[in-house]
Amino acid sequence: MVRVSGEHLMSWPFLLLLACIVFFNRYIFLEPRFPIKIPDWFERALHYSAPCILSSICIPIILMDGESYRHSMFNPYFIATLITIASAYLFRHTLLTIFISLSSFYILVYLMQ
């Protein structure tokens, strides 16, 4: 069984808050029926907001273990990240990529304990 510390539980409200902020920012500025018109360069920049925020959240989780760095690249977080990148590139199907990445992560955590 995978243990979840209180530190990880505290991040769920933060993740949900960031998801809401990204959604409403993208909705307000990218919805064609909304009365705000923004410059084209700003609209193109908004398309990168979700990947940037997700990267800034995920990279510390992948590379850090509490207050220290994960010195080995053979950990379930890093390996599952590589599997996720490969499946996203190969299949280009979001739901399939999510299923493969979550399955691979939990299988790796179970096998590497």
What is the model's pLDDT at position 1? 43
d(CA 87, CA 81) in angstroms, rounded, equals 10
What is the model's pLDDT at position 26? 72
The domain ranges of the chain are 1-70, 72-113
What is the model's pLDDT at position 8? 52
pLDDT, block means (10 residues), the chain with 113 residues: 50 83 77 78 80 83 86 89 95 93 94 86
What is the model's pLDDT at position 39? 83
Judged on CB neighbours under 10 Å (0-12, 13-18, 19+), 80 is: buried
pTM, to two decimals: 0.61
What is the model's pLDDT at position 22? 79
